[in-house]
Amino acid sequence: MSTPHPPSPSHNPPEPVVASEGWGVTHLFFHLRRELLDDPAHAADDFVKRVEAFEAREDYQALAFSVLGQKADLGLMLLGPDLGVLDAFTIELAASPLGAALLPAASYVSLTALSEYTSTREDEAQRLVEEEGLEAGSPEHAQALAAFDARMAAYAEHRLHPRLPYRRVLSFYPMSKRRGEQDNWYLLGFTERKRLMGGHARVGRSYRGRVLQLITTSIGLDDWEWGVTLLADDPKAITDVVYEMRFDEVSARYADFGPFVTGLILKPGELISRLSLR
């Protein structure tokens, strides 16, 4: 009796790992060991092609940056709907010609998300009556609510499915809300948390046009609760917004911050030149 042959391996692509809401975000930070490269020019060209191919996928984006200081040499911020695609890129990069010289310095995994403290339609309807003097149910009230709905739809799309603009500077840091015996964010009622976050958000909105802030959730996914990515052309705008927010009660009393990493965003080919691989 002949021994049955084992089944042929399946070549079907793996099932996508897509969140029910939001996209995956992976921050990767590397030290570069140039002396480990046999052919730096070939490794550089391969890296550029890989990043450009990743970005050519619909709904995927990669920001490449040179890290300031010595926490790392270079970094990548990857965004897209399928966590499997982000994971595959990370694995393939490690196995690539440049991968032999990339020593992982740190990484962070999170998801784009909406804030639970965002104003609702009911909040806006009440505000229009109390602050704008519009009569509930009037044509003017309905028109103002329709404009609010459009703004919130655009806001939700930006938060959940961002297409980040090209800026010169990136700053990333993780953070969590404090759960100490004296100050515990999670023992506050929702109404109080929403009130506090409203003031916090007003500070952020005052920097619109100067700093783009992308806050992603990492609760249950990484060591901290949120990842914060700030993008700006002027590095002082980043120090200004972080400094001002430190005085807000949400940060001053209830926030713990992880390490900050700052980088200069470059096109993949420019990054390779900056790293002296060409």
Report whether pLDDT(2) > 50: no
In whole angstroms, what is the distance from residue 1 CA to residue 172 CA?
Answer: 64
Q: Is 158 exposed, middle or buried (0-12, 13-18, 19+ CB in 10 A)?
A: middle
Is residue 243 part of the annotated active site? The answer reads: no
Can you spell out the DSSP letters for 213-244?
EEEEE-TTTSSSSEEEEEEESSHHHHHHHHHH
Cα–Cα–Cα angle for 20, 21, 25, rounded to 5 degrees: 110
Taking the C-alpha atoms of residue 12 and residue 265, their distance in angstroms, rounded to an integer, is: 36
* Total-model pTM: 0.89
φ, ψ (nearest 5 deg) of residue 87: -65, -45
| Integer angstrom CA distances of residue 111 from 33, 43, 82, 218 | 31, 30, 11, 6
User: What are the start-end ranges of the H helices in the chain?
Assistant: 40-56, 83-94, 121-130, 139-160, 190-205, 235-246, 249-254, 268-274
Q: What is the mean pLDDT of the chain?
A: 93
DSSP output for 41-55:
HHHHHHHHHHHHHHH
User: Is 135 strand, coil or helix?
Assistant: coil
Instruction: Please give the Cα distance from 135 to 137 (Å, whole number).
Output: 6
54-74 pLDDT, tens digit per residue, is 999 999 999 999 999 999 999
- Once rounded to an integer, what is the mean pLDDT over residues 29-33? 97
Res. 234: pLDDT tops 90:
yes
CA distances from 60 to 49, 66, 90, 263 (A): 15, 20, 14, 20
Q: Which two tokens stand for residue 11?
A: 């070549």
CA distance 131 to 144: 13
117 or 258: which leads in pLDDT: 258
> Could you give the CA distance from residue 60 to residue 162 in angstroms, rounded to a whole number?
10
Quote the pLDDT of residue 5.
54
CA-closest candidate to residue 232, choices 198, 207, 267, 256: 207
> Helix 139-160 to helix 121-130 angle, to the nearest 10 degrees?
140
What pLDDT does 12 receive?
76
Q: Number of H helices and number of E strands within the chain?
A: 8, 9
| Candidate list 60, 155, 166, 173, residue with the active-site label | 173
Q: Minimal CA–CA distance to 177: which of 163, 169, 188, 166?
A: 188
Choose the weakest-confidence range: 19-23, 61-65, 112-116, 205-209.
205-209
Lowest mean pLDDT: which of 106-115, 144-153, 220-229?
144-153
Q: How many CA atoms lie within 13 A of 10 on its CB side?
A: 4
Least confident range from 38-52, 106-120, 198-212: namely: 198-212
Taken in order of first residue, the domains within the chain and their CATH numbers are 24-112+266-274 (3.30.70.1030)
Predicted confidence at residue 118, as pLDDT, reads 87
Least confident of 25-29, 169-173, 198-202, 235-239: 198-202
Q: Give mean pLDDT, residues 40-67.
A: 97
| Residue owning tokens 């940060």 | 251
pLDDT given at position 1: 45
- pLDDT value of residue 11: 63
Could you read off the pLDDT of 134-187 as tens digits, one per residue?
Answer: 989 999 999 999 999 999 899 899 999 999 999 999 999 999 999 998 999 999
Quote the percentage of the chain above a pLDDT of 90. Answer: 82
